[in-house]
Amino acid sequence: MAERQTIDARGAFCPGPLMELIAALKLAQIGDEIEVLSSDKGSVNDIPAWVTKVGHANVGTTEKDGYWSVVVKKAK
């Protein structure tokens, strides 16, 4: 059954939101969703761009109170 996990990478300088996502995707099953919370606005572009490039799915990006939620689904 598909799972959903949240990575709270707000304020994380190293390794940062995208690197955390890459590591989490390696452990996820196809169909699992991963939500990344990031206070770095760059994540709003970086994460979806990389996800599209490698063939996973962008579920959505939402602006919250001072941070962003980026949800990704493992597709392969």
Partner 1 sequence: MSKTILIVGGGLAGTIVANGLCRQLGSELRTGAVNITMLGTTETHMYQPGLLYVPFGKIREAELFREQRKVLDRRVNFFVDPAKHIDVEKNQVATEHGRTIKYDYLVLATGSRIMPQNIPGMKEAGHWFYDLDGARKLRDAISNFQGGKIIVNVNAPHKCPVAPLEVTLMMHEYLKAHGLWEKSEITYTYPIGRLHALEPVAHWAKPEFDRIGIKYETFFNTESVDPEKKTIKSMEGVELPFDLLITIPPHAGAEVIDASGLGKGGWVPTNPKTLHRDGSTNVFVCGDTTNIPISKAGSTAHFEADVLIDNLVSLVTEGRFARDYDGKVFCFIETGLNSGTYVWFNYTTPPNPGPPSQMIHWFKLAYNRLYWLSARGLL
- Which residues are tagged catalytic? 14
d(CA 56, CA 50): 9
x/- site string to partner 1, residues 29 to 58, per CB under 8 A?
A: -----------------x---x--xx----
Residue 2 near partner 1 by CB under 8 A: no
d(CA 45, CA 23): 19
Number of residues that bind partner 1 (CB under 8 A): 21
d(CA 66, CA 26): 28
Contacts to partner 1 by CB under 8 A: 7-9, 11-20, 22-23, 26-27, 46, 50, 53-54
